[in-house]
Amino acid sequence: MVILHYRSTYLRRVLTTNKKNNDENLVHIKLPNILPEIFEIVLRYIYGGKLSLDEYHASDIIKILVTGNELGLQELITYIQSFLVKTKANWMVQNFNLIYQTSFENDSFLELQKFCTNLITKKPDNIFNSPNFSSIPEKLLVSLIQSDNLQMSEIQVWEYVLKWGLAQNPELPSDLTNFSKEDFKTLKNNIRQCIPFIKFHNLTSKEFSDKVLPYRKVLPKELLYEDLLKYFLNLDNQPIKDSKPCTTTKEINIDSEIITIQHSELISKWIDKLEITDEIKNAYKFKLLLRGSRDGFTPEKFHEICDNQSHTITIIKVKDSNEILGGYNPIAWELDESNESEGVTYSTKDSFIFSFKNNDNIENNILSRVKNESCAILYYYNFGPSFGINDLFIAEMIGKSSNTAYEKRIRGTSDNFFVEEYEVFQAIR
């Protein structure tokens, strides 16, 4: 009893409250929220002072964490959170619903809360593309889409909300043309709490027409649909259709030795999957992270500056030519220590690579989106930014571009090239 009294603030409080006059009588403590097998693990820790988490499944480690919190074992709480973040990050992404709910239901789990917040901000695709996405509670989905830090286009938000709403009733027809009045009513009820947080006015007319209009029956007609229809039918709100890209609604300044504002506007449209004639209503700011001539061309310098940064655009000036190459990585450049020597590929459906044949003519370009999502991004400590399987990478001042994981070649040759300059930007809204 002395050890329990000393090690656990909760048990200390209970033992003090239930202290018996006769020291030979045992105190009966009820812990209805704790599984016996989990309590046994924690009890061994209390008496032994050691706990090896490697032998337990991540789901059991979460239970141990919650039990440690209930018993007031702050040292154990800190240790387990650090272990989870360092060794179980992929599992936590796949089980984001559980981690999010657990972390924000307990004020002591600050490191897990930080993990969740960073994931929402830097790598939202990992949440929305998770196999368990459709099972997250409505309250969590609303919290995600109303976050000011969510770096995702509004049309993507709408599509994910629809995906979630449809998944709540798997019996709904897969073909929208087969929807009955009751089917639309069911879907409407499923997503009604999310609708107020979708910024429909940030959509382009084409996005509204192609992606929203077919689902008009799920929108509150008297409050939203009619207003949106008027807005998108107003010619003053339509993008100007001509042969040149429309200018953005706010000025973009870019600190680059390679590309111009016009390049950055076009790349911004590619990020949002817009047509070249569409208008950007909320332009990206290109924040310079690295410049080779300023910071160095070594892979070590790239990883020092750019690791853990998401939504990055790499721009490469090919030596002795006017050619510009580049790539967009929506997820963070992140080291997997277990595969540091071999490198590791990361999955995303939103990355792309591109080229401009002449830096003075942005219309002469090639855009190549990822086709093999599982190999979209390569992290290898001996390389700088790397896309696909040699689709585009640089190491020191030498680069290569072939065609494996992306739709098409961005160069006419797969020969190595020399790098005159390269820059890495972060796209920020």
State the Cα–Cα distance between residues 134 and 157, nearest whole angstrom. 14
| Cβ–Cβ under 8 Å, residues 352 and 406 | yes
Decide: pTM greater than 0.85.
no
Angle between helices 58-70 and 36-48 (to 10 degrees): 70
- Which residues, listed in sequence order, are joined to residue 423 by a DSSP beta bridge? 291, 315
DSSP 411: S
Domains (range + CATH), the chain: 2-87 (3.30.710.10), 153-237 (no CATH), 261-428 (no CATH)
Per-residue pLDDT, 118: 80
Rounded to whole angstroms, how far apart are CA atoms 293 and 79? 42
Give the rounded distance of the alpha carbon of 130 from its chain centre. 10
Q: Please give the Cα distance from 237 to 239 (Å, whole number).
A: 7
Strands (E), 273-412: 285-291, 312-318, 324-329, 344-346, 352-358, 361-369, 377-379, 386-387, 392-395, 398-400
Tally Cβ neighbours within 10 Å of residue 106. Answer: 16
CA–CA dist 315, 260 (Å, integer): 11
Tokens of 336: 């997997």
Helix (H) / strand (E) element for 244: namely none
Longest dimension (CA), the chain: 92
**Paired tokens of 422:** 């390269």
Residue 388 φ/ψ region, left for φ over 0, alpha for ψ in the -120 to 50 degree band, beta for the rest: left
The pLDDT value recorded for residue 242 is 35
Residue 389, C-beta contacts closer than 8 angstroms, at least 6 positions apart: 345, 375, 378, 404, 405
Q: pLDDT 10s per residue in the chain (429 long)? A: 555 554 566 555 655 655 554 455 556 666 777 788 888 898 888 877 788 899 899 999 999 999 888 888 888 899 999 999 999 998 998 888 889 888 888 778 989 988 887 887 777 777 888 888 888 888 888 888 887 667 678 898 999 999 999 999 999 999 999 999 999 999 999 999 999 888 888 888 888 888 988 998 998 865 566 677 777 666 555 443 333 333 333 444 688 999 988 899 899 999 999 887 777 767 789 999 999 999 999 999 999 999 999 999 999 999 989 899 999 999 999 876 655 556 789 999 999 999 998 766 788 899 999 999 999 999 988 999 999 999 999 998 999 999 999 999 999 998 999 999 999 999 998
Classified as helix, coil or strand, 133 is: helix
Tokens of 207: 């996005």
Answer positive or negative: Cα dihedral of 152, 155, 156, 159. positive
Selection from 195, 94, 64, 201 nearest residue 141 by Cα: 195
Distance of CA 221 to the CA centre of its chain: 33
d(CA 8, CA 72): 6
**Residue 154 neighbours by CB distance under 10 Å:** 19
Residue 319: DSSP 8-state: T
